[in-house]
Structure 1
Amino acid sequence: MLHLQISDARKLIIETGLALAERKLILGSWGNISMKIEKDCFAITPSGRSYDQLKPDDIVIVNAEGVKMAGIRTPSTELKMHMALYKAHPEFNVIVHTHSTYACAVASMRKTIPPFIEDMIQVIGGPIRCAEYAIAGTEELAQNAVVAIGNNNAALLANHGAVCCGKNMRETLNVASIVEKSAQIFCITEQMGGAINIDAKTAKILRAFYKEHYSKRQAGEEL
């Protein structure tokens, strides 16, 4: 994925923003998207711009230290979180921060979504943990997100939303959709006495199967 053209990254980010809005995973200017262009450089959505109004030049290019290199806007207020996650996880090439309804509901309860759905285990890697609360845009929130994600692909942000990561846009959009679906099922099953979790041994098999047979297929796909 490295050495992606800036114009291609900007186009993909805008298209993904519209897809997230269509799926009701974001609303208005809330949430943010970033994508690596090179090892120490990534594109990120600007602060305070609705996704249906974004133009290529609105997408900001920053280096690993968060210094703006190109773009006419100010980077997203969650820039620090994106920087921290890329630093902690070099395998991540895309990060999406959503404010979807059920993910926000569970995040407001500050609960972890347990591993009870197969696709959640396969794609996300296990439970969707909730990061400790911190004010949006702070270094504290950035570090809390890193801790909550651990070795998985997503986490909830207490009283805020969710952060979803992946190797490419397609995978990360899928992660965001599964987070919301899992949160919705969690809310429903909590009212019915609680779901029965998938055991750790089976979860390990499911995750390994996905990584071997599905994740690798996306390695050469357009991001």
Structure 2
Amino acid sequence: MENEAVEKVRTQIVKAAQKMAGQNMLPGSWGNISIKINKNAYAITPSGRGYDNLTPDDITIVDAAGQTLDGALIPSSELPLHLAIYKALPEANAVVHTHSIFASACAAARRDIPPLIEDMVQIMGGAVHCAEYALPGTEMLAQNVIKAMGGKRAALLANHGVAAWGVTLDEAMMVAGIVEKAAQLYCITQSLGGAVLLPQSDIDAMHGFYEAHYRKRQLGEE
């Protein structure tokens, strides 16, 4: 690994963590962020370190087996979740696990977020599913989340929070933000008698356009 590339990734994670903490997506030291450096090196936030005071040196580098390659701090306890996503979804280059309020409310109720708003269905192609409950930090949780994702970019973690991934860290953060927005809208519409859900034909059309064109524009590929 080139030291310059590793330091760039560490700095990127710190900036993202502090930004998301300011948005109440990562309260205190809860939630975590990782980036794939290569197939056998991953940078991840440390366990128990508050994001307000996080520095690039605090970011731990681990291998595909979860063994520390560089860094003095213990990696996040949700490392198994991050590694499972990278293994199951080779396109993933970044993962964020958030504890945002409305998505966590849906997770606490163990409810899927239905396809109720256009930006969410563009990204997800349907509902955001809630994974079956398992203790935090366990392989069981990781596998439950992979199953709930079903290849999509996000899932809720029952009584816990959200996991989202992207081909870039910016995309992973955007996905997590859209999930939180959709969860908030879902909770609000419940007080209005429930949301009118989008028809599957429209969901398929919007998701298809997003994958074929709009996402590429977001990534600077079109």
Q: TM (normalized to structure 2)? A: 0.95
Match of 1:187 in 2: 187
| Residues in 1 aligned to 2:220 and 2:197: alpha-carbon distance in whole angstroms | 34
SS of alignment partner, residue 165 of structure 1: strand
Match of 1:23 in 2: 23
| Residues in 2 aligned to 1:121 and 1:162: alpha-carbon distance in whole angstroms | 17
Matched AA of 1:121: V
Tell me if the contact between 1:113 and 1:186 (Cα under 8 Å) persists in the aligned partners. yes
Match of 1:162 in 2: 162
RMSD: 1.5
Tell me if the contact between 1:4 and 1:38 (Cα under 8 Å) persists in the aligned partners. no
| Residues in 2 aligned to 1:4 and 1:206: alpha-carbon distance in whole angstroms | 40
SS of alignment partner, residue 5 of structure 1: helix
Q: Does 1:57 align with 2:62?
A: no
Post-superposition offset of 1:162: 0.6
Q: Does 1:212 align with 2:196?
A: no
| Residues in 1 aligned to 2:72 and 2:122: alpha-carbon distance in whole angstroms | 39
Matched AA of 2:97: H
Post-superposition offset of 1:124: 2.8
Match of 1:143 in 2: 143
Post-superposition offset of 1:4: 8.5
Match of 2:74 in 1: 74
Match of 1:132 in 2: 132
Tell me if the contact between 1:125 and 1:153 (Cα under 8 Å) persists in the aligned partners. no
Give deviations 1:93-118, integer Å, cap 9, x for gaps: 11000001101111000000011110
Give deviations 1:129-151, integer Å, cap 9, x for gaps: 00000010011101001001112
| Residues in 1 aligned to 2:103 and 2:114: alpha-carbon distance in whole angstroms | 13
| Residues in 1 aligned to 2:133 and 2:72: alpha-carbon distance in whole angstroms | 32
| Residues in 2 aligned to 1:57 and 1:220: alpha-carbon distance in whole angstroms | 30
Relative to structure 1, is the Cα distance of residues 4 and 141 closer, same or farther in structure 2, using a 3 angstrom cutoff? farther
Q: Give the % identical residues.
A: 50
* Mean CA deviation greater in 176-185 or 193-202: 193-202
Matched AA of 1:123: I
Post-superposition offset of 1:193: 1.5
Give deviations 1:140-189, integer Å, cap 9, x for gaps: 10100100111211110000011111111111111111111111111111
SS of alignment partner, residue 147 of structure 2: helix
Matched AA of 2:22: E
Match of 2:171 in 1: 171
Relative to structure 1, is the Cα distance of residues 35 and 198 closer, same or farther in structure 2, using a 3 angstrom cutoff? same
Matched AA of 1:136: P
Post-superposition offset of 1:198: 1.1
| Residues in 2 aligned to 1:40 and 1:124: alpha-carbon distance in whole angstroms | 28
| Residues in 2 aligned to 1:123 and 1:180: alpha-carbon distance in whole angstroms | 13
Q: Which runs of 5+ in 2 are unaligned?
A: none
Post-superposition offset of 1:122: 1.0
Match of 1:11 in 2: 11
Give deviations 1:1-40, integer Å, cap 9, x for gaps: xx99111110110010011011111111000000010122
Q: Within 5 A, what are the aligned runs for 1:87-98?
A: 87-98=87-98
Q: Which runs of 5+ in 1 are unaligned?
A: none
SS of alignment partner, residue 214 of structure 1: helix
